[in-house]
Amino acid sequence: MRNPRVGWALLSPTLIILLIFGFAPFIYVLVVGFFDWNVFAAEDGLRFNGLDNFRRLVFDDLFLSSVGLTIRFAVFAIVSEIVLGFVLAQMLTRSFPGKSLFRIIHTFPLMVAPIAVGAIWRLLVIPGFGPVPFFLDRWLGLTYQIGTYPDQALMTSVLMDIWHWTPFVTLTMLAGLSSIPREPVEQAKVDGANRLQVFWYVTLPFLRPVLLTTVFIRIMDAIRTVDEVWMLAGGGPGTRFTGIYIWRVTSPAASADWGYGSSVSLITLYLTIVLCWLLFIAISGRRKGEVE
């Protein structure tokens, strides 16, 4: 009665669009990364150059520093978001009047366009009229200028990311917390476990899948962060993250070296996959250790 051909026909528009605009670019990056293709070179066209692009990449200081910076950014931001999101979710598990209003306000940054998040934070920290540099100077005597000090720019990006994405962690954690059955928690309390022990031995193992998913998605996001940081600092020192580096290298307007751009993209895709795989191993491996 149900002819698979009809099924394929229904699926085909989706598959065609994804093959053309999703898969074809991937194949392109995979192939062109091994070629020399400079649009403004004397002889137009592709020349195979094996791993030359990748050799160049390994010694490309800008790329390497962008990777280091992205890792620092991701670690600072994601750890803070997880801790803060967990606390907030914990606060939301009990009911109090007006809870849904607070929750709605807390969720709001999540839906704001990243570029607008960048604009909001730029207005806060801009030298001249932004309140943050003004009051830091007035009250604490600190000089705060993200255009000049790379560390301040990095920390501002981290804070902006926390502002933007903590609500996401809160909501996933809340979903995870509310799916934890009551009995094991009660049981542990009866057995004399203190709050920390309940958290460590009962809540955390139950939360692990949600935690894993959340960290996984946030790492993906951190690697591709471009818009908001670009808007915040205009690619200034301290914010040249991998996403921005790739954008600059592969941006059709800025770069004519398309072969090299492709190899950079390829390496970043590869790094993304490896990072997630390592994370998965780390978390599932520790779990095995606990069971034994």
Partner 1 sequence: MNQSRRRRIGSYFGTYAFWIFMTLLTLIPIWWMFVVSMRTRVELFGRPNLMLSRLYLENYSNVLTDSAFQRYMTNSLVVSTANALLVMILALLATYALSRYKLAGRDNIFFWLITNRMAPPAAFLLPLYIMFTRTFRLGDWTLFDTQLGLVLLYCVFNLPFAIWLLKGVIDGIPIELDDAAMIDGAGLWGVLRHVIIPLSAPGLAVTGILSWIFAWNEYLFAANLTSVVARTITTALAEFVTVTGTNWGELAAMSMVTLVPSAVIVLFAQRYIVMGLTFGAVKE
Interface of this chain with partner 1, residues 76 to 105, rule: CB under 8 A: 88, 91, 94, 96-98, 102-105
To partner 1, the closest distance from the beta carbon of 187 in angstroms equals 25
Using CB under 8 A, pick the residue from 11, 79, 83, 282 that binds partner 1.
11
Size of the site for partner 1 (CB under 8 A): 97
Contacts with partner 1, 148-187, as mask; x by CB under 8 A: ---------------x----x--xx-xxx-x---------
d(CA 104, CA 261): 42
Indicate the residue among 4 and 141 with the shorter CB distance to partner 1. Answer: 4
**Which residues on adjacent β-strands are paired with residue 38?**
257
Q: How far is CA 251 from CA 193, 211, 224, in A?
A: 56, 34, 14
Applying CB under 8 A, does 119 fall inside the site for partner 1?
Answer: yes
User: Looking only at residues 25 through 44 of this chain, which bind partner 1 when binding is defined by CB under 8 A?
Assistant: 25-26, 28-29, 32
Applying CB under 8 A, does 139 fall inside the site for partner 1?
Answer: no
CB 264 within 8 A of CB 67: no
Using CB under 8 A, pick the residue from 56, 72, 106, 208 that binds partner 1.
106
User: Looking only at residues 180 through 239 of this chain, which bind partner 1 when binding is defined by CB under 8 A?
Assistant: 210, 213-214, 217, 220, 223-224, 226-227, 230-231, 234
Applying CB under 8 A, does 22 fall inside the site for partner 1?
Answer: yes
Q: In this chain, which stretch among 49-57, 125-133, 149-157, 196-204 interacts with partner 1, using CB under 8 A?
A: 125-133
Neighbouring CB atoms inside 10 A of 196's CB total 8
Using CB under 8 A, pick the residue from 124, 136, 180, 283 that binds partner 1.
124
Instruction: For the chain, give the number of residues.
Output: 292
Applying CB under 8 A, does 266 fall inside the site for partner 1?
Answer: yes
Q: How far is CA 187 from CA 180, 181, 184, 278, in A?
A: 13, 11, 5, 34
Applying CB under 8 A, does 108 fall inside the site for partner 1?
Answer: yes
